[in-house]
Amino acid sequence: MNAMLINLIARYNSIAFTHNYIMGFAYKGNIYAAKTVGLSFGIKLDRASSKNGGGYCLRYQPTKAEKEALVESGQAELICSKEWFDGFHACSSYNKGEDFERIITERAGQEWEKDNVPFFKGADLTTEDGSYSIKFEKATICTESTLIKQGV
């Protein structure tokens, strides 16, 4: 792991509201979700878009090997087929991450509503098990510019 990646993860962790995650991904024709504590897999250093302040960002982009390991070990739960998810997404005005968040929230018996609560002020889902940030593959976890604005 390179020094900048380690630095951004540490800065992110210092202000994150929750360290519990539900991480979604597509694998072999299905959509899966894995609950994790901490950013334990699939996190890479990337460049933030200029509209997001430029600089670096943390992106959730699990490798095929990471997905396979999670599925084969039973650590990932089957959510739906990729075909169903793609159809659901085609009828939606939201991005894939928001659609995944909606599915997970509704599976937890809650009503989903799009919000813009920053990662340092709240969670995407709160259940009796705890608070979770929900991410789907290719999601930006945070940008360097957001961390700088928050003083970390």
42 compared with 54, residue with greater pLDDT: 42
In sequence order, which residues have a C-beta less than 8 Å from that of residue 142 and are 6 or more positions away?
8, 12, 57, 58, 119
Q: Give the whole-angstrom CA distance, residue 29 versus residue 112.
A: 25
What pLDDT does 143 receive? 94
φ and ψ at 8, to 5 degrees?
-65, -40
What pLDDT does 54 receive? 77
Which of 47-61, 70-84, 91-105 is least confident? 47-61
Split at pLDDT 50, 70, 90, the class of 51 is confident
**Average model confidence (pLDDT) across the chain:** 95
Mean pLDDT value of segment 7-25: 97
Both tokens of 152, joined, read 């970390």
Strand 43-47 versus strand 56-60 pairing type: antiparallel
Report the predicted TM-score, pTM, of the whole model to 2 decimal places. 0.93
